[in-house]
Amino acid sequence: MVSVEDYGNFDTAWCPGCGDFGILKALKRALADMDKSPDEMLLVSGIGQSGKLPHYLKCNFFNGLHGRTLPPATAAKISNHELTVMAVAGDGDCYGEGGNHLIHAIRRNPDITVLVHDNQIYGLTKGQASPTTQPGMKTKINKEGVFNRQLNPLALAISQDCSFVARSFAGDIEHLSEMIKKAVEHRGLSLLDILQPCVTFNHLNTFKWYSERVYKLDENEYPLNDRVKAFEKSLEWGERIPIGVFYVNDRPVFEESLDVLSSGPLIRNKVKTDSVNELIDGFM
């Protein structure tokens, strides 16, 4: 049996009270509940406070470039589709600089879980506005308040028929670990947007602010494969903020549609150097 302790206990560089601690705790709990051992997990992250999360777990991880979480995660999944792959990103990382990768990962649909630490701010670079920052909020460089419209990641993902779309809150460990389990168990690209307070640079969307607004979606409210109803629900934001699973569908998974993987993971295939030479010669 896998336990939370199997994932280690590390010192962190996060500010005391940061919402990232709730995500780390919920993730460890979910992995232990699913009996996933550290050797069958791969966590891929970019740059940011969120990007540090895999540093604080004893399992395989790859820490890449800012905004580039999904390309290496997809490559790793293809190379060894027996691994459980999770991509970990911030709202800046996944919806800003890496937004293009998110859109195309949704199209490809690899079996990857994407955890977005959505603190509605750039944490690591000290509080600039991100795509999900609330318009009007004053930041260090937006002295008059943020002017750009706020990105709605759930509406974006649902509109593009993302295979699994959910939201949770770092202040509700139980709900969050349940959502992580559902996202991992779903086959296909699972986007889990996690409302995560940044106690240092976002003084608007605080634990109290979220706690007064979040409410759990009623599982019987509509069939989870109803894209139009899910889209409508994803537009709800303000005095009430729904959390839970918004949308699920069972589209073909990217790695299953690749013939080359039918005989097992690429990492077990012998490299035929002759055919590599032939391939290169073909370009000459």
Ligand X SMILES: Cc1ncc(C[n+]2csc(CCOP(=O)(O)OP(=O)(O)O)c2C)c(N)n1
Length of the chain equals 284
* Region label for 208, one of left (φ > 0), alpha (ψ between -120 and 50) or beta (otherwise): alpha
Closest CA to 115 of 40, 36, 168, 191: 191
First to last CA, the chain: 54
Q: Could you give the angle at the alpha carbon of 254 between the alpha carbons of 235 and 186, nearest 5°?
A: 55
For ligand SF4, which is the closer residue by CB, 55 or 240? 55
DSSP one-letter string for 234-261: HT--SS-EEEEEEEE--PPPGGGG-GGG
Per CB under 6 A, which region of 14-22, 68-76, 128-136, 214-222 contacts ligand SF4? Answer: 14-22
Which option in ligand SF4, ligand X, none does residue 200 bind, with CB closer than 5 to 8 A by kind?
A: ligand SF4
Q: Binder to ligand X among 60, 84, 113, 130 (CB under 6 A)?
A: 130
For ligand SF4, which is the closer residue by CB, 123 or 244? 123
The DSSP output letter for 94 is: I
- Which x/- pattern, by CB under 6 A, does the window 161-200 give for ligand SF4? -------------------------------------xxx
| Spatial contact of 187 and 134, defined as CB atoms under 8 Å apart | no
Q: Binder to ligand SF4 among 7, 18, 73, 81 (CB under 6 A)?
A: 18
In degrees to the nearest 10, what's the CA dihedral of 43, 44, 48, 49?
Answer: 0
Per CB under 6 A, which region of 1-9, 12-20, 79-87, 159-167 contacts ligand SF4? Answer: 12-20
Q: Which amino acid is at 3?
A: S
| CA dist list (Å): 138 to 90, 100, 119, 129 | 20, 27, 15, 9
Residue 148 CB, nearest distance to ligand SF4 (Å)? Answer: 21
State yes or no: residue 119 binds ligand SF4 (CB under 6 A): yes
Residue 197 CB, nearest distance to ligand SF4 (Å)? Answer: 7
| CA dist list (Å): 142 to 133, 195, 251, 274 | 11, 22, 41, 58
Q: What share of the chain is helix, strand, coil (3-state, %, to 5)?
A: 40, 15, 45
Residue 199 CB, nearest distance to ligand SF4 (Å)? Answer: 5
Residue 260 CB, nearest distance to ligand SF4 (Å)? Answer: 40
- Residues numbered 106 to 125 that lie near ligand X (CB under 6 A) are 117, 119, 121-125
Which option in ligand X, ligand SF4, none does residue 199 bind, with CB closer than 5 to 8 A by kind?
A: ligand SF4
State yes or no: residue 49 binds ligand SF4 (CB under 6 A): yes
- Which x/- pattern, by CB under 6 A, does the window 71-110 give for ligand X? -------------------xxxx---x-------------
Residue 254 CB, nearest distance to ligand SF4 (Å)? Answer: 31
For ligand X, which is the closer residue by CB, 65 or 241? 65
Site residues, ligand SF4 (CB under 6 A): 14-15, 18, 20, 49, 119, 123, 198-201
